[in-house]
Structure 1
Amino acid sequence: MVIRWVVALLGVVVAAVLGTITFVIASARIPESFIPLSAAVSNYGLYLLPVGLLGLGIALILVQRRINVVLRRIGLLVGFVCAIAMVAACVPLVASWRTAGEHDARLSVFDYVIGGSNTGKPVTATSIKYATVDGTDLLLDAKLPAHPSDTKRPAVVWVHGGGWSEGDRGEGPKWHRWLNDKGYAVFSIEYRLAPPARWNQAPADIKCAIGWVKQQAGQFGVDPERVMVAGGSAGGNLALMGAYADDRVPPSCAVGDTSVRAVAAFYPPTELVSAWRDTGAPEYGRKAMRDYLGGSPDEVPDRYAAASPTTYVRQGLPPTLLLHGARDHVVPIGQSTELAARLQAVRVEHQLLSIPFGEHAYDFTWGDWGTQMSRTVFAEFLRQHFPAS
Structure 2
Amino acid sequence: MKLNYQILILLFIIFHASTSFASHAKQTSNIIYAEKMNQDGAVQQLKLDLYEPTGNNQNKIVYLMHGGGFLEGDRGDFIEYSNYLVKQGFTVCNLDYRLIPEIYHEQLTYDIYATSLVLAMDDLDSAIRHIHDNSDIYGLNDYDIIIGGYSAGALTSLHYAYINSIDDVFLLSESDIFSNLPQDKISLISKFTEKKYEISKVLNIAGSLLSPYLVHEGEPSIISVHSIEDVVVPYEMGDTDGTGIITYGPKTIHQRADNLSIKNQLITINDDDHGSFGSGIENENCHDCRVMVDEFLSQQD
Q: TM-score, normalised by structure 2?
A: 0.66
The 3-state SS of whatever aligns with 1:329 is: coil
Aligned to 2:291: 376
The one of 223, 232, 235 equivalent to 2:150 is: 232
The 3-state SS of whatever aligns with 2:129 is: helix
Counterpart CA distance in 1 for 2:87 and 2:289 is 16
The one of 196, 201, 208 equivalent to 1:269 is: 208
Aligned to 2:46: 138
In structure 1, the gaps of 5 or more residues are 1-123, 272-307
Instruction: Say how many residue pairs are matched.
Output: 222
Tell me how far 1:355 sits from its aligned partner. 0.8
Aligned to 1:164: 70
**1:222-261 alignment, distance < 5 Å:** 222-246=140-164, 248=169, 249-250=189-190, 257-261=196-200
Alignment of 1:129 onto 2:44: no
Aligned to 1:314: 216
In the alignment, residue 316 of structure 1 is paired with which amino acid? G
Cα displacement string for residues 166-208 of structure 1 (whole angstroms, at most 9, x for unaligned residues): 1111112222111100111111111111146223222122122
Aligned to 1:75: none
**1:86-105 alignment, distance < 5 Å:** none
In the alignment, residue 376 of structure 1 is paired with which amino acid? V
Counterpart CA distance in 2 for 1:203 and 1:385 is 25
Tell me how far 1:366 sits from its aligned partner. 6.8
Aligned to 1:205: 123
Alignment of 1:154 onto 2:72: no
Q: 1:369 to 1:210 in 2, by over 3 A?
A: same
Aligned to 1:83: none
Counterpart CA distance in 1 for 2:157 and 2:120 is 10
Counterpart CA distance in 2 for 1:251 and 1:132 is 18
8 Å contact kept, 1:152–1:223: no
Q: 1:125 to 1:356 in 2, by over 3 A?
A: same
In the alignment, residue 318 of structure 1 is paired with which amino acid? P
The one of 262, 269, 291 equivalent to 1:355 is: 269
In the alignment, residue 72 of structure 2 is paired with which amino acid? E
In the alignment, residue 128 of structure 1 is paired with which amino acid? I
Alignment of 1:327 onto 2:241: no
Larger radius of gyration: 1
The 3-state SS of whatever aligns with 1:126 is: strand
Alignment of 1:219 onto 2:137: yes
Counterpart CA distance in 2 for 1:366 and 1:236 is 13
The 3-state SS of whatever aligns with 2:287 is: helix
Counterpart CA distance in 2 for 1:203 and 1:256 is 12
Cα displacement string for residues 129-183 of structure 1 (whole angstroms, at most 9, x for unaligned residues): 10112332211111222x256x783211101110011111111222211110011
The 3-state SS of whatever aligns with 2:255 is: helix
Q: 1:244 to 1:218 in 2, by over 3 A?
A: farther
Q: 1:356 to 1:178 in 2, by over 3 A?
A: same
Q: 1:189 to 1:352 in 2, by over 3 A?
A: same
Tell me how far 1:239 sits from its aligned partner. 1.2
Q: TM-score, normalised by structure 1?
A: 0.52
8 Å contact kept, 1:154–1:223: no
8 Å contact kept, 2:61–2:143: no
Cα displacement string for residues 265-313 of structure 1 (whole angstroms, at most 9, x for unaligned residues): 1010323xxxxxxxxxxxxxxxxxxxxxxxxxxxxxxxxxxxx5x3521
Q: 1:365 to 1:237 in 2, by over 3 A?
A: closer
In structure 2, the gaps of 5 or more residues are 1-26, 38-42, 105-111, 170-188, 237-248
Aligned to 2:81: 175
Counterpart CA distance in 2 for 1:241 and 1:361 is 21
Judging by fraction of residues, say which structure has more strand: 2
8 Å contact kept, 1:192–1:201: yes
In the alignment, residue 159 of structure 1 is paired with which amino acid? M
Counterpart CA distance in 2 for 1:131 and 1:241 is 21
RMSD value, Cα:
2.6
Judging by fraction of residues, say which structure has more helix: 1
Point out the more displaced range, 188-197 or 168-177.
Answer: 188-197
Aligned to 2:181: none
The 3-state SS of whatever aligns with 1:228 is: strand
Counterpart CA distance in 2 for 1:171 and 1:221 is 26
Cα displacement string for residues 51-95 of structure 1 (whole angstroms, at most 9, x for unaligned residues): xxxxxxxxxxxxxxxxxxxxxxxxxxxxxxxxxxxxxxxxxxxxx
Q: 1:184 to 1:167 in 2, by over 3 A?
A: same
Counterpart CA distance in 2 for 1:262 and 1:178 is 18
